[in-house]
Structure 1
């Protein structure tokens, strides 16, 4: 089936775009977009996909797994090698590990420093 739309950006709301971009840059190795600033920061991904972070005043972090503040977006990242080692590095970088882990040994749910849930999967 021919595609007539291609994703060009995924953007997360947050209180501090440069700080959140730095977290994901350390985790993914993606390069920071040259026009990044205090209101909008981006990382250049594969195939032209930009991972963006935009400042939102009065930002409220998602409450995962509860839905008091819905997550609205959940990004998954494939990891190579030992899942536990990658998780440990992410925790040292500022990620958090919620108690609810629905995927057993196949994946981990973490939250980034702004509270967005994301998964790392084998």
Structure 2
């Protein structure tokens, strides 16, 4: 058996064609702070007042970025983000105003989540908050 990692924070990084622009989108969508480093090739968004060990999103600028195609296509989706919200209708309006677009494919039969596409083509879902543990 091995010792678990001693984490100081968790970051989920997304490749994209313009890291600064995508960070601005998610910063506006989530109300998080955009944190730029020495250059615009790696930009993070942090929850306001986030503490060490918290979660962050990062955006890494890569040359020749190709957006995933979902549900079928030559560039498969390899990951997506789920954001749980108390009011799906209000959150949908906010996402659209921030620059997201609804995906043409909406697989939820119950309406418990909505699939969106960010400005770089990544998928994310707004999900109705439930009593399930995260």
How high is the TM-score relative to the length of structure 2? 0.80
Distance 1:29 1:37, change over 3 A: farther
Q: Is the 8 A contact 2:32 2:46 kept in 1?
A: yes
1:56 and 2:58 matched: no
The alignment partner of 1:89 has SS state of: helix
Q: CA deviation at 1:32?
A: 1.6
Q: CA deviation at 1:31?
A: 1.3
**Structure 2 unpaired stretches of 5+:** 129-134
Q: CA deviation at 1:38?
A: 1.6
Q: Where do 4+ consecutive residues of structure 1 move more than 4 Å?
A: none
1:69-108 superposed matches below 5 A: 69-81=75-87, 83-104=88-109, 105-108=111-114
Higher Cα radius of gyration: 2
Q: CA deviation at 1:50?
A: 2.1
Alpha-carbon RMSD across the aligned residues, in angstroms, is 1.8
Q: CA deviation at 1:35?
A: 1.9
The alignment partner of 1:10 has SS state of: strand
Cα distance in structure 2, aligned partners of 1:18 and 1:121: 26
How high is the TM-score relative to the length of structure 1? 0.87
- Which residue does the alignment assign to 1:33? 35
Cα distance in structure 2, aligned partners of 1:100 and 1:10: 25
Question: Paired residues, what number?
Answer: 119
**Structure 1 unpaired stretches of 5+:** none
Q: Is the 8 A contact 2:114 2:125 kept in 1?
A: yes
Deviates more, 1:26-35 or 1:58-67: 26-35
Cα distance in structure 2, aligned partners of 1:34 and 1:92: 23
